[in-house]
Amino acid sequence: MKFIVSSSYLLKQLQVLGGIINNNNTLPILDNFLFQLDQNSLTVSASDLETTISSRLEVESNEKGSVCIPARLLLDTLKTFPEQPLTFSIEDNNTIEISSNHGKYALAYASGEEFPQAIQLQDPSATVMLGDVLANAIAKTIFAAGNDDLRPVMSGVFFQFSTEGLTFVATDAHKLVKYSREDISASQAAEFIMPKKPLNLLKSILAGSEEQVTIEYNNSNAKFSFDNTEMVCRLIDGKYPNYEAVIPKENPNKLNIERSQFLNSVRRVSIFSNKTTHQIRLKIAGAELNISAEDIDYSNKAEERLTCDYQGDDMQIGFNSRFLTEMLNNLTCDEVSLEMSMPNRAGILTPTDGLDDGELVTMLVMPVMLNS
């Protein structure tokens, strides 16, 4: 088995695939990339058992074969080469030799047979969407997903597809984000929960991509295909909580304010908040928003006044500043609207501009009890 490939082209593809490999794998074979050669087409795969991602590369060869090459060793070697053709060839002493313009490097390889096979999806449903749209949907929601191992369903992003549109939801019980697209729809209704790790990988690969992504899914697995890449991953098993039930419908008190000004104020004031609760207080009266925080243990306190556009009754409400900062950070608009009903009901944060046609973002943040 022998093939010739460009060093930088190979490195670029392998760095993407390497994102799925765990640092401490239970199966040693998972520390490798699987190389499958078929004439001038080379398919490289990486897996952590839950997720398998593979890319097809063009190479110079007229042979066939498959081997597993140690991922870390190969990546570290490739990073040091300037752009040049590399020749990979299998030698008799169970090593694979890489020849460059300047030297030769031998790595021990394992048989390609040992590598776990990617799951084939049985009669899946499919939806097609633009890569950048999917990356955007993931970026807008994934930060709100939980990290609690006891509630695995909340540690992923909920995909809800229907003939009317696509909805992506993430929550950790303190904050919730619902991102919808009414300009893209699926042929039939489906719902599934995607784990965070493959989503983070998709987000980094697809940001800004004009490629179409085909999403195929059944009850247990999902497959994302685009360009020359395929990713198959196991879905999180379980029923997603009824998130619609926690979004308050009647919110008469509505605050409109410039996002960056609000975000900077919250950031500054929160430095003076209690280090365990991160509590800040919003006091709204007329066209004035008063943001304050206090850490009684250390006698630290801060207060800022901002002008805003507010319709509703005067009110005071407390939030965890970290959740509020995270949400404001993940919006790209100039102005935001915060809708509230009562100090003990969730506040709804939405962008008032900067959205594409058919794009909707609703963020929900739970209040904290104020010590009067």
For 261-324, give the DSSP string: HHHHHHHHHHTTS-TTT-EEEEEEETTEEEEEEEEGGGTEEEEEEEE-EEES--EEEEEEHHHH
Domain shared by 211 and 310, yes or no: no
Report pLDDT digits (tens) over 135-147.
999 999 999 999 9
Q: Does any domain span residue 119?
A: no
Domain shared by 84 and 51, yes or no: yes
Q: Are 1 and 89 in contact (CB under 8 A)?
A: yes
Report pLDDT digits (tens) over 316-330.
999 999 999 999 999
Q: Does any domain span residue 175?
A: yes
How high is the pLDDT of residue 372? Answer: 60
Q: Does any domain span residue 107?
A: yes
Tell me the residue range of the domain where 207 lies.
125-244
Domain shared by 238 and 298, yes or no: no
Domain boundary among 228, 244, 260: 244
Q: What percent of the chain lies above the pLDDT cut of 70?
A: 100
Residue 233 pLDDT greater than 80, yes or no: yes
The pairing of strands 335-340 and 347-351 is antiparallel
Domain shared by 252 and 240, yes or no: no
Report pLDDT digits (tens) over 29-57.
999 999 999 999 999 999 999 999 999 99
Domain shared by 130 and 240, yes or no: yes
Domain shared by 223 and 269, yes or no: no
Q: Does any domain span residue 307?
A: yes
CB-neighbour burial class of residue 130 (10 A; exposed 0-12, middle 13-18, buried 19+)? middle
Domain boundary among 212, 244, 276: 244
List Cα–Cα distances, 120 to 53, 56, 223, in angstroms. Answer: 13, 17, 9
List Cα–Cα distances, 335 to 248, 255, 260, 341, 351, in angstroms. Answer: 21, 10, 8, 20, 6
268: which residues sit within 8 A by CB, 6+ positions away? 302, 304
Q: Are 346 and 367 in contact (CB under 8 A)?
A: yes
- Tally Cβ neighbours within 10 Å of residue 9: 15
What's the rounded mean pLDDT across residues 283-312? Answer: 96
Q: Are 29 and 67 in contact (CB under 8 A)?
A: no
Sign for the pseudo-dihedral over CA of 21, 209, 232, 193: positive
Report pLDDT digits (tens) over 55-88.
999 999 999 999 999 999 999 999 999 999 999 9
* pLDDT classification of 356: cutoffs 50, 70, 90: confident
Domain shared by 99 and 137, yes or no: no
Domain shared by 137 and 193, yes or no: yes
Q: Are 193 and 187 in contact (CB under 8 A)?
A: no
Q: What percent of the chain lies above the pLDDT cut of 90?
A: 95
Residue 37, SS3? strand
Q: Does any domain span residue 278?
A: yes
How high is the pLDDT of residue 18? Answer: 96
- Tally Cβ neighbours within 10 Å of residue 65: 14
Domain shared by 187 and 227, yes or no: yes
Q: Does any domain span residue 181?
A: yes
Residue 236: name the closest of 306, 155, 169 by CA. 155
Domain shared by 228 and 149, yes or no: yes
Residue 112 pLDDT greater than 70, yes or no: yes
Count CA atoms within 13 Å of residue 254 on its CB side. 12
The CATH number given to whatever domain includes residue 148 is: 3.10.150.10
Domain boundary among 244, 267, 291: 244
Q: Does any domain span residue 292?
A: yes
Tally the domains of the chain. 3
Q: How far apart are CA 37 and CA 64, in angstroms?
A: 5
For 78-108, give the DSSP string: HTTPPS-EEEEEE-TTSEEEEE-SS-EEEEE
Q: Does any domain span residue 146?
A: yes
Domain shared by 10 and 107, yes or no: yes
Domain shared by 31 and 63, yes or no: yes
Q: Are 198 and 156 in contact (CB under 8 A)?
A: no
* CA angle at 82 for the pair 79 and 86, rounded to the nearest 5°: 85
Tokens of 197: 């790790």
